[in-house]
Amino acid sequence: KMEKGGKGGKKVRRGPEGHLKGLVDIIKNEEKFKDMIYDKDEDLVVVKDKFPKAKWHLLVIPREKIDSPADLTRDHLPLLYKMKAKAESIKQKLSKEHPDIPGFKTGFHAIPSMLQLHLHIISTDFDSEKLKTPKHWNSFTTGFLIDIDLMIKIIETQGNFTPLDEDAMETKPDTTTTPR
């Protein structure tokens, strides 16, 4: 189900539990959610995804209120570069500590399921009991996941990000690689 959220009624995909503001709650109540917090600094909070779709699934969340990628402008480029640097640092650390992990993807869902901008860092093993449906798989293995470098390029060149309709995006199952 799609809901209007963000500035100007931008699209946000409503999650199954309807917890659109769960990430905002984490930033506002860090002490309450301290077990979920992986790392933090003055600009960013990194949390473990509550429903991880791989062995490692983290979210880099800015403290600045930004609802979704559709709200990004060129003014947010310094923040996007900070988010990218934080993600790269975490990926390097995890790669050294867990050499069995095949790699990582870093990106934004084109139409996120929760309010508050968040960058996914997800290991490409996709080994998780929470990876239950083709929609889960597709949200990380198709054009629905916008790589951080591509998002930065889009914002630099266009000044904003306009997601396509969810139906128009490449989210059809790839039955040759879906693990389940």
Active-site residue list = 118
Q: DSSP per residue over 4-27, as a string? A: E-SGGG-EEEPPTT--TTHHHHHH
Q: DSSP per residue over 151-170, as a string? A: HHHHHHHHSS--PPPGGGSS
Residues 6+ apart with CB under 8 A from 53: 122, 126, 128, 130, 131, 136, 139, 140
